[in-house]
Amino acid sequence: MKIGKVIGKVVSTRKEGNVEGLPILVVSYLDEKLSDTGRSAACIDTVNAGDGDIVLLCASSSARMTAKTTNVATDNTIVGIIDSVFAGSSFVYQKSKT
Amino acid sequence: MKIGKVIGKVVSTRKEGNVEGLPILVVSYLDEKLSDTGRSAACIDTVNAGDGDIVLLCASSSARMTAKTTNVATDNTIVGIIDSVFAGSSFVYQKSKT
Amino acid sequence: MKIGKVIGKVVSTRKEGNVEGLPILVVSYLDEKLSDTGRSAACIDTVNAGDGDIVLLCASSSARMTAKTTNVATDNTIVGIIDSVFAGSSFVYQKSKT
Amino acid sequence: MKIGKVIGKVVSTRKEGNVEGLPILVVSYLDEKLSDTGRSAACIDTVNAGDGDIVLLCASSSARMTAKTTNVATDNTIVGIIDSVFAGSSFVYQKSKT
Amino acid sequence: MKIGKVIGKVVSTRKEGNVEGLPILVVSYLDEKLSDTGRSAACIDTVNAGDGDIVLLCASSSARMTAKTTNVATDNTIVGIIDSVFAGSSFVYQKSKT
List per-residue pLDDT tens for chain E, 98 residues long.
999 999 999 999 999 999 888 999 999 999 999 999 999 999 999 999 999 999 999 999 999 999 999 999 999 999 999 999 999 999 999 998 75
Count other Cβ atoms within 10 Å, centred on residue B24.
Answer: 24
Q: Report the share of chain C in percent with pLDDT over 70.
A: 99
At C64, which amino acid appears?
Answer: R
What pLDDT is recorded for position A98?
A: 59
Average pLDDT for C28-47: 97
Residues of D in contact with A62 (CB under 8 A): 17, 61, 63-64, 72-75
Q: Please answer yes or no on whether C26 and E81 come within 8 Å at the CB atom.
A: no
Return the percent helix, strand and coil in chain E, to nearest 5: 5, 50, 45
Q: Chains with ≥3 Cβ pairs under 8 A against C?
A: B, E
CATH number at residue C48: 2.40.50.220
Q: How confident is the model at residue B34 (pLDDT cuts 50, 70, 90)?
A: very high
Average pLDDT for B22-31: 98
Residue ranges with strand state E in chain B: 2-11, 14-15, 24-30, 36-45, 54-59, 76-81, 84-87, 90-94
Looking at the structure of chain B, the number of domains it has is: 1
Residues of A in contact with B81 (CB under 8 A): 12-15
Residues of C in contact with B19 (CB under 8 A): 79-80
Count other Cβ atoms within 10 Å, centred on residue A69.
Answer: 26
Task: Select from D1, D32, D47 the Cβ nearest to the Cβ of E16.
Answer: D47
Q: Please answer yes or no on whether C1 and B51 come within 8 Å at the CB atom.
A: no
What pLDDT is recorded for position D98?
A: 60
The torsion of the CA quartet E24, E29, E30, E32, rounded to 10 degrees, works out to 110
Supply the range of the domain harboring residue C10: 2-94
Contact A84, D3 (CB under 8 A): no
Q: Please answer yes or no on whether D12 and A80 come within 8 Å at the CB atom.
A: yes
Q: Please answer yes or no on whether D19 and A63 come within 8 Å at the CB atom.
A: no
Mean pLDDT for chain B overall: 96
Structure confidence by residue, pLDDT tens digits, C76-98:
999 999 999 999 999 999 998 75
At B36, which amino acid appears?
Answer: D
What pLDDT is recorded for position C72?
A: 97
Instruction: Examine the pLDDT at D97 and tell me if it is beyond 80.
Output: no
Q: Please answer yes or no on whether C63 and E63 come within 8 Å at the CB atom.
A: no
How distant is the Cα of A96 from the closest Cα of chain D, in angstroms?
13
Burial class (CB in 10 A: 0-12, 13-18, 19+), E72: buried
Q: Please answer yes or no on whether E17 and D87 come within 8 Å at the CB atom.
A: no
Supply the ipTM of this predicted assembly: 0.95
Instruction: Examine the pLDDT at B32 and tell me if it is beyond 80.
Output: yes
Q: Report the share of chain B in percent with pLDDT over 70.
A: 99
What pLDDT is recorded for position B21?
A: 86
